[in-house]
Structure 1
């Protein structure tokens, strides 16, 4: 059946992709409406209900189109996959630490009950799970079946699926998001969709982008989900034209992942050609990991070195797995990356646990003066 899609009209294939995305939105909205008629759930409870309902729709579409196998494909493996998507891995860690630090120091909001936090965590995971299956697992693969596994076909499928991914975020206007904020979010989402597509195709593992997407949403809505400051709509309405800075931030790693040599490797893999990493490539990975580990140590005292250390360690593992020769650079990469993680972890505990207490004590002392 998938072979027959090559002969389908490209316009009809694109319309089918749009229809699948529209069906996803309609199922969620319908589930939310029906659930609200019978129950009132706190916090992100209603989001969990709508996302779970949408998951059923997605599984049906996966089965109907023959893409249910995306769950079982491990591609390059989880650890190597997170290194391939190293930018998103680091970005998610950086954002989560930063958001927790800002909230702990500001003193605004109040930590929500455990049940509320659990529902928030489940909701963000389901959002990442559903959206990645729809836009990468189904729509991207649908376009690849039509446009083929050539470099041109891969880029075309990535661009079209990312445009649809960005466009669906414009529907947030009907949920109370301002037009300006919705437009900013749509453009951000389109560029981010391109990056997630590149990571998915290079890693060959849908779980990598599901986790990355879920953690990105977790960080962006952390203030509402954990500290009870507004809701998801309030978080989106905070977007302004200044947030366009994320466009080049997401676009640059996308271009790196899709650079000429790697796009050729991807074309070969998708056409059944076995690609064995060269020793030079493994040595390059080891050097990059060593540099990341060193940066992580230097930034460790601020807590933000954790992201560099984690990606450096993932790169060290990847180089170790693929390399035919283990040298001092690779061992040094392991050591520096591990040290960066330990130093940064200690710094994070101090930043998130001790500094807010010191700040509260300072405010109390000033109150007595």
Structure 2
């Protein structure tokens, strides 16, 4: 594992793309095993949940063996200020989702037992993606590129681009125009997530924000029979995301740069 860590430090960008391959293999392999061994159908949500859990544990294992659990923000809870900011953004973004989905803030948010698998799946998606993209991947890049401001920005943009690109998998079940806008919306949201992690020193505010938005969006959609995402909905979301993107860019300006002589040991946070 030490040689693998040295590889990650020497070739951070290659390591990052390798982690995306590992994500696909872990999730796909675990889901396929669940189908074959437990009798689930490929269309069931449960194999996907099992894949998410296995992948999350796999990346936590890598972070642990690398000694990155603390500096990557997994073991840090974040200060009161970053949590206050996160709550404010979550409220704003939640209202934006309600307006984009229905054109009003008065929607049905009823929770029923049959929603549970989908809501667990969408919540775990936020946990997995933030631990991988804003935990492991972002720290791998910042620890090597963080001596300069442009390196920090590049690290956030790479993690954001990867987050957006992962949504291209939705082409299997959606239209090109919808998927392209979903990729764009994910990319701009990820700039904020990256800024929160770098400044707050904890991945958990981003996890709560990401999973919270996913949860709300799915509750709204599940309570609307026949609901489908449309191009106008995504454009509305993207436009309403702009203030949070601007704030995310502002956070990048506040990030303390890593020290040139100890890049791999510098926590990616500013106090």
Q: Which has the higher contact order (CA 8 A, sep 6+)?
A: 2
Larger radius of gyration: 1
Measure how far apart 1:275 and its partner are.
7.6
Measure how far apart 1:45 and its partner are.
3.6
Cα 1:244–1:27 shift into 2, 3 Å:
same
> Does the 8 A contact of 2:12 with 2:144 survive in 1?
yes
- 2:194, 2:24 → 1: CA distance? 20
Measure how far apart 1:213 and its partner are.
0.5
Measure how far apart 1:66 and its partner are.
2.9
Cα 1:271–1:84 shift into 2, 3 Å:
farther
Q: Give me the CA root mean square deviation.
A: 3.6
2:74 pairs with 1:71: yes
Q: SS of the counterpart of 2:77?
A: coil
Consecutive unaligned residues of structure 2, counting only runs of 5 or more, are: 260-264
> Does the 8 A contact of 1:74 with 1:205 survive in 2?
yes
> Does the 8 A contact of 1:184 with 1:239 survive in 2?
no
TM-score of the aligned structures, taking structure 1 as reference length: 0.59
Q: SS of the counterpart of 1:199?
A: helix
Q: SS of the counterpart of 1:267?
A: coil
Consecutive unaligned residues of structure 1, counting only runs of 5 or more, are: 106-110, 277-369
2:160 pairs with 1:162: yes
Measure how far apart 1:46 and its partner are.
4.1
- 1:170, 1:42 → 2: CA distance? 19
Measure how far apart 1:60 and its partner are.
2.7
TM-score of the aligned structures, taking structure 2 as reference length: 0.77
Measure how far apart 1:217 and its partner are.
0.8
Figure out how many residues of one structure are paired with residues of the other and give that number.
256
5 Å-filtered alignment, 1:221-240, equals 221-225=218-222, 227=223, 229=225, 234-235=228-229, 240=234
2:90 — aligned with what?
89
1:220 — aligned with what?
217
5 Å-filtered alignment, 1:114-153, equals 114=113, 116-153=114-151
Q: SS of the counterpart of 2:108?
A: helix
**Which residue, 245, 251, 266 being the options, matches 1:251?**
245
Structure number having the greater helix percentage? 1
